[in-house]
Amino acid sequence: MIRNLADDLYQVKLGSNSSNCYLITGDITILIDTGTVLRIPEMANTLSEIGYSTPDIDLVINTHEHSDHIGGNVLFQKTALIAAHRNAAVKIISGDDEVMHCRAHAQKFEGYHVHAWLSNTDVIDADSWFLKVLHTPGHTSGCISLYDPRRRVLFSGDALFASGTLSTIYESGSLGEYFNSLRRLGTMKIDLLFPGHGRESNNVDGDLELTIRNAIAQFPGAARLAAMFVPVIAGLCLFETISSIDNAIINAEVLATMDRWAQRWFLIWGLLIAVAGIRFLLPWVIVWATVPELGPIEAITATFSDDPAVIEAIERSAPVLLMFGGTFLVFLFFHWLFLEDKHYGLRGERYIRTRGVWFFAVVSILLSPIVTFMIVGYFLALSVRSPPGGGSRA
């Protein structure tokens, strides 16, 4: 049976013991999951009902490695590109039937191919569809969901079902990963859910909340995992509070050595610079300088944006952005080690403290490869975005 869900989206239901399959039509024809091998004739006949044949499928994406999702691959793998998460791909190509359960569905477990090994946050740009790969393990270790942030549509495979139905945790799966995947999906803006089994849903927030509640009720370990979020948040709040008090004590000690006019200037303009300048303007300048194509306004709104172009730009620049924070912390450590007055508790600390000039030598040595990496990376990024001859990238 085939249902037209949208102008360029069809749902293929092949009967019991077979997954839901989804056909995306357009410049690139994508089939998400292929059902069991026993349903191959039905798959071919169903596609012909809407004017498609096997060679018309450009890309097959398996949401995980179970036989009820990959069995029909043999119909397409000679003419289409087969893609799966790398954790699923290694089991599929090696015929790991302890995980795939092919024999349970009377199908062979050898002879399957995976041409593209996917990773978390990979993107498949199919013109009218922009599918972001989300690694959502739990049911198995190779589970993925496909999320289109522009349409707010999620193809969840067996990671999430409608009405709070729980996914089975199989041999290669993990309750902890399943619970974490549900939490991650809860951060997405999803209007429509198309699962690997059962009906679709337009109440995804409710489905997620109910699934998490059901998981806590059914799996004793899930309650412990859920409870972990509270102490983690409390610990982070405590750390920030202690750091703030520590900073306040240091500031008070420094202020005590200042003249009254300097104290007044620090408490007014110094705090304004520290809060507005260092905690807002400086990160904004860093993001804008690192991802110049965003522009000044989008550099501010990027945190709240689900625009795929913004997401892609930030992820592409993530290594450089993270390097700023990491470099600052490393330099802060060496500043404490070489330059700050302190009580000595370890052998050699007094000697290191007398060699304060080493701080500048160490910092210079560390900065050299960092700056080189950033410059080379910048020009490499320019060469990728603007290929020679002005041509476009495939």
More confident call, 99 vs 61: 61
Tens digit of pLDDT for each residue in 346-357?
A: 777 778 777 777
Mean of the pLDDT values across residues 292-300? 74
Do residues 17 and 36 lie in contact, with contact meaning Cβ atoms separated by under 8 Å?
A: yes
In this structure, what token pair is assigned to residue 239?
């750390």
Vertex 339, ends 337 and 345: CA angle to 5°? Answer: 45
Q: Is the pTM of this model over 0.75?
A: no
Provide the pLDDT for residue 67: 87
The Cα 13–Cα 195 span in angstroms is: 12
Tens digit of pLDDT for each residue in 120-144?
A: 989 999 888 999 999 999 999 999 9
Handedness of CA 173, 233, 187, 302 (dihedral sign): negative
Mean of the pLDDT values across residues 273-298? 75
pLDDT at 387 over 70: no
Domains located in the chain, CATH noted: 2-218 (3.60.15.10)
pLDDT at 43 over 60: yes
129, containing H or E segment = strand 129-135
